[in-house]
């Protein structure tokens, strides 16, 4: 997985920002995600019960939002020479409901050389927003990225 | 959630700090990776390796298969998580957890659980802390 398009640690700058395309989260997404994950909690699957809840309807799994933002931001970023995704700090602020359209903003906020000479850690702040501009989820991810090989 | 009583659920009052749980195990397959990719658009970093967030999603699903009555989660509040090693497709995972913190609030209470996802060799793949808002038992 080497190629000219993959960016090394040295080439990524603090303060770089990325904005993803939007994506509308549908009932089908929630049903498929319940089937995949095995999380059939009533808050995601029982429309009648949820009519009586403070949300008034089913809500998306928090982890579905986390996974969708990961896919969305990948589409908006020039690829890094990533070795590993190693850390996540995440807050679920407000539910994603069926029909909401979300997008994610990413910003490079940390860049630390690792003890190993061939790599470093990039920290990305991520904010997931809905169609009203409300923050639905936010947090930070740590990626271990290759340094430019020395000839 | 309102006061509609759900039978056989674990409410905030029932949560015990220090309680430990271990889920059943499951084998992670290429079908999981393909479905996950289709639903989320999130792809593995390299072929044969499961996306890290997929592993986390599967482990939380395993948590719903514990023998204890399910926790009445009003909201998943947050995660602090480390990915220790990658998961090769074909590996079999299970999750072990321990209730670390319990703090009462006006509406329900916050429960923090330390979770580890381990493979068939007992090696830790991912670990960290989940925070949930849990309902009180309806009066």
Average pLDDT over residues A84-108: 97
CB pairs under 8 A between A and B: 117
User: Tell me, what's the pLDDT at B3?
Assistant: 53
Contact between residue B83 and residue A85 where contact means Cβ atoms under 8 Å apart: yes
Parallel, antiparallel or unpaired: strands A23-24 and A101-113: antiparallel
In the beta sheet, which residues pair with residue B132? Answer: B76, B111
Which of A31, A38, A68 is most worth mutating to test chain B (most B CB atoms within 10 A of its CB)? A38
Q: How far apart are CA A7 and CA B93, in angstroms?
A: 33
Mutate to test the interface with A, among B37, B61, B130 (most CBs of A within 10 A): B61
Across the interface, which of A32, A70, A86 has its CB nearest the CB of B42?
A: A70
Mean pLDDT of chain A: 94
pLDDT higher than threshold 70 for residue B9: yes
Place of tokens 């309807």: A57
What are the beta bridge partners of residue A135?
A129
pLDDT-derived band at A36, boundaries 50, 70, 90? very high
Three-class DSSP category at B110 = strand
Residue B73 dihedral angles phi and psi, to the nearest 5°: -85, 120
Q: Which residues have a Cβ under 8 Å from the Cβ of A151 and sit 6 or more positions away? A: none
Instruction: Name the burial class of residue B7, with classes exposed (0-12), middle (13-18) and buried (19+) by CB atoms within 10 angstroms of its CB.
Output: exposed
Q: How many alpha carbons lie under 13 Å from residue B45 in its C-beta half-sphere?
A: 19
What ranges make up the beta strands (E) of A10-52? 17-19, 23-24
Is the Cβ pair A91, B62 closer than 8 Å?
Answer: no
ipTM confidence? 0.91
Write down the pTM of the prediction. 0.92
In this prediction, residue A3 has a pLDDT band, given cuts at 50, 70 and 90, of: very low
């Amino acid at each position: 997985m080497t190629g000219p398009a993959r960016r090394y640690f040295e080439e990524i700058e603090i303060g770089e920002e990325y904005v993803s395309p939007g994506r509308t989260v549908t009932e089908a997404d929630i049903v498929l995600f319940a089937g995949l994950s095995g999380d059939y909690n009533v808050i995601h699957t029982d429309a009648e019960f949820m009519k009586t809840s403070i949300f008034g309807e089913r809500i998306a799994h928090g982890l579905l939002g986390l996974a969708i933002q990961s896919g969305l931001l990948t589409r908006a970023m020039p690829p890094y020479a990533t070795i590993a995704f190693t850390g996540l700090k995440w807050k679920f602020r407000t539910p994603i409901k069926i029909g909401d359209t979300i997008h994610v903003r990413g910003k490079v906020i940390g860049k630390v050389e690792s003890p190993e000479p061939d790599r470093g850690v990039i920290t990305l702040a991520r904010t997931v927003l809905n169609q009203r501009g409300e923050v639905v989820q936010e947090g930070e991810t740590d990626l271990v990225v290759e340094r430019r090989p020395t000839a | 959630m309102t006061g509609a009583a759900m039978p056989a659920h674990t409410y905030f009052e029932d949560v015990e700090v220090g309680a430990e749980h271990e889920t059943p195990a499951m084998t992670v397959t290429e079908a999981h990776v393909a479905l996950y990719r289709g639903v989320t658009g999130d792809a593995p970093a390299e072929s044969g390796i499961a996306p890290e967030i997929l592993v986390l999603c599967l482990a939380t699903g395993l948590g719903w298969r514990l023998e204890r009555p399910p926790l009445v989660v009003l909201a998943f509040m947050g995660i602090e998580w480390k990915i220790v090693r990658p998961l090769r497709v074909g590996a079999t995972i299970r999750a072990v957890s321990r209730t670390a913190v319990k703090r009462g609030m006006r509406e329900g209470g916050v429960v923090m659980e330390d979770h580890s996802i381990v493979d068939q060799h007992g090696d830790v793949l991912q670990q960290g802390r989940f925070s949930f808002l849990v309902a009180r038992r309806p009066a």
